[in-house]
Amino acid sequence: MDQDELLSNSFYKDVVSFLEVVEKTIDINPNLITRLKYPRRAIRVSIPVRMDDGSMQVFRGYRVQHNHVLGPFKGGIRYHPNVNLGEVSALASLMTYKNSLLNLPLGGAKGGVKVNPNSLSRVELEALSRRFATEIGPFIGPDKDIPAPDVGTNPETMAWIMDTFSLETGFSQTGVVTGKPVEIGGSRGRLSATGLGVVYIAEQALETQRKEISQSTFAIQGFGNVGSHVAIEAHAMGAKILAVSDIKGGIYNPRGINISELIRYLKEHRFVEGFPHTNTITNEELLELDVDVLCPCALESVIHEKNVNKVKAKIIVEGANGPVTPQALDYLLKNNVLVVPDILANGGGAVVSYFEWVQDISWLFWKEQEVREKLKKVMVDTFTRVWNFTKTYQKSKDKDNLRLSAMAIALLRLEKAMKLRGQI
């Protein structure tokens, strides 16, 4: 693996730089930081697909396995035009830290295919997914590496991957992926888990400022699986959703958007634009709204040094991976904005993926209410640990830097595990 290639990616470079920041803040073995700067393994594959018109296209695919000291590799697969090795490697490392922070017995991995899934037919997407599963098949499995949905993929994608893997190994292996349909071994509550986890964390963040979620306003950038469920769950708890957006733009209503009606509207119109009784806004304008809670749930680096001075939200909960750049975070902290980091905020999907994996290998399945209760306990307990760490250990200049605290807790657990296994 070309280390210079990885470090040429700004997102990956930001993740590595933050490791070095944490290293200077807490007493930790420097060998750990050296080990964690680079993934254990990066797999690149070519994915030939015969298109509907008879032509052949070859797509680029990746599976990066960052660290598995705590357990099998675990992480999503995304289909997006901007997928590249650096991005996937950064996301894989964040999964390592997320699983460590959440006390899950899992390592970190990520996968992706450089493709616009909206430009492919369902038949082409299935062919792409099955061939990708074949190419990475030797490196995944219930005890090796367990993929899950991410940007541009969904339960159906996981069903195709599971079926392909099972056919090639000779028997049904439901535990090879999570985020599957319930009918073939998926967990109840998995589809909404990441968004629900974001709402549980937003509720805790609001409580630190003596506010109730039922009296709060939200703006949500990204209305895919994560953002839509943030809206659904927050709305159900009484929050007022002022704005939401998707890839084509956003909608805004200062009196609040009826999320139930919006969900029905999307079944016919696909995108949020044109929803009645709302004003059209851009994704950039949504980030600048004066709300209690801003949830960036789309892609990384959307809040950066060029637009951070326009952000008015009091609390930012990172539903996406890395939506706030390090430079923007410094500005926000100086202006007393509470930023809940991605490895904590969007951990709900990882938690319920773990629950699904446990259910698959034990063949014992839980009711949805049980899943939600277990998820809430993990998310609330983890937020409390991070908040207490912040108040106990950070210096005044690092006031309320939850990203620093979350990463410190994650690294300290990894340090102990790697020492016990003789790896550092």
Strand order in the sheet with 249-252: 279-281, 249-252, 240-246, 217-221, 293-296, 315-317, 338-340
Rounded to a whole number, what is the distance in angstroms from the first to the last CA of the chain?
Answer: 21
Helix intervals (H) in 79-189: 85-101, 122-136, 155-169
Closest-CA residue to 15 (of 106, 81, 82, 110): 110
**Residue 122 burial (CB count, 10 A):** 9
Q: Residue 64 and residue 148: Cα distance in Å, rounded? A: 13
Closest-CA residue to 246 (of 222, 228, 264): 222
Calculate helix-pair angle for 225-236, 259-269, nearest 10 degrees: 150
Closest-CA residue to 318 (of 345, 351, 337): 345
Strands (E), 22-118: 41-50, 56-67, 73-80, 108-114
Closest-CA residue to 408 (of 389, 423, 382, 424): 389
Closest-CA residue to 82 (of 276, 291, 302): 302
**Residue 181 burial (CB count, 10 A):** 15
110 is catalytic: yes
**Residue 302 burial (CB count, 10 A):** 21
Q: Residue 42 and residue 88: Cα distance in Å, rounded? A: 9
Please, what's the largest Cα pairwise distance for the chain? 63
Q: Residue 121 and residue 161: Cα distance in Å, rounded? A: 17
Q: Which residue has the tokens 């319920």?
A: 352
Helix intervals (H) in 237-347: 259-269, 283-287, 326-334, 342-345
H/E run at residue 149: strand 145-149
Q: Which of 74, 98, 110, 314 is catalytic?
A: 110
Query: What amino acid positions are annotated as catalytic residues?
Result: 110
